[in-house]
């Protein structure tokens, strides 16, 4: 698999308004589709995203391709032996389908190590399932029903 070259640029506190605006835009189509106002990253307040940024175990990165910010990823690493977590990752709509998410996951695994990861996604979003499985993640069997339209499925990578 040929990965597109991306780089990760660590986000600072000053970048958080941009991160939040990107997150709301990137997930708005899924919010509209699934109406999950409790969980959707598109429905999160700036304050909630900022509080996450301030967690000592959280790092946000911009995903950069060809000198342009194409998305972002949040990595949770408590450095206590628990699973590292990607939550969330997104590629802006106009940049999707180019392999950037795959490359960004490969990059964070370079930084944090390739094993002991977890993440979750919408079961009904087949493209997401395909992406994570292609990257070596497997479903744990745990599925959480959110509403009549959507379920959350959990993945791990050892």
Has residue 3 got a pLDDT over 90?
Answer: no
Tell me the mean pLDDT in the region 54-69.
97
Domain assignment of residue 54, yes or no: yes
Residue-number span of the structural domain to which 53 is assigned: 7-112
Domain assignment of residue 53, yes or no: yes
| pLDDT tens per residue across span 9-53 | 999 999 999 999 999 999 999 999 999 999 999 999 999 999 999
pTM of the entire structure?
0.95
Domain count for the chain: 1
Give Rg (Cα) of the chain.
15
List Cβ neighbours of 49 (8 Å cut-off, separation of 6 or more): 16, 19, 20, 23
- What does the CA dihedral 30, 86, 130, 27 come to, rounded to 10 degrees? 10
| pLDDT tens per residue across span 97-127 | 999 999 999 999 999 999 999 999 999 999 9
The CATH number given to whatever domain includes residue 87 is 3.40.630.30
The pLDDT assigned to 132 comes to: 98
Domain assignment of residue 29, yes or no: yes
User: Token match 């990257």: residue?
Assistant: 135
Domain assignment of residue 70, yes or no: yes
The pLDDT assigned to 2 comes to: 58
Helix/strand/coil (H/E/C) assignment for every residue in the chain = CCCCCCEEEECCHHHHHHHHHHHHHHHHHHHHHHCCCCCCHHHCCHHHHHHHHCCCCEEEEEEEECCEEEEEEEEECCCCCCCEEEEEEEECHHHCCCCHHHHHHHHHHHHHCCCCEEEEEECCCHHHHHHHHHCCCEEEEEEEECCCCCEEEEEEEC
Domain assignment of residue 152, yes or no: no
């Amino acid at each position: 698999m040929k990965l597109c070259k991306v780089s990760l640029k660590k986000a600072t506190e000053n970048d958080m308004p941009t991160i939040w605006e990107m997150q709301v835009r990137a997930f708005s189509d899924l919010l509209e589709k699934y109406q999950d106002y409790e969980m959707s990253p598109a429905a999160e307040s700036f304050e909630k995203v900022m509080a996450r940024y301030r967690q000592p175990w959280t790092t946000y990165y911009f995903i950069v391709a060809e000198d342009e910010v194409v998305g972002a990823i949040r990595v949770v690493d408590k450095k206590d032996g628990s699973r590292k977590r990607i939550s969330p990752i997104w590629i802006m709509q106009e940049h999707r389908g180019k392999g950037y998410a795959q490359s960004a996951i490969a990059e964070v695994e370079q930084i944090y190590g390739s094993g002991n990861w977890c993440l979750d996604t919408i079961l009904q979003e087949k493209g997401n399932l395909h992406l994570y499985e292609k990257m070596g993640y497997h479903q744990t069997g745990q599925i959480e029903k959110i509403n009549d339209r959507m379920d959350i499925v959990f993945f791990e990578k050892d």
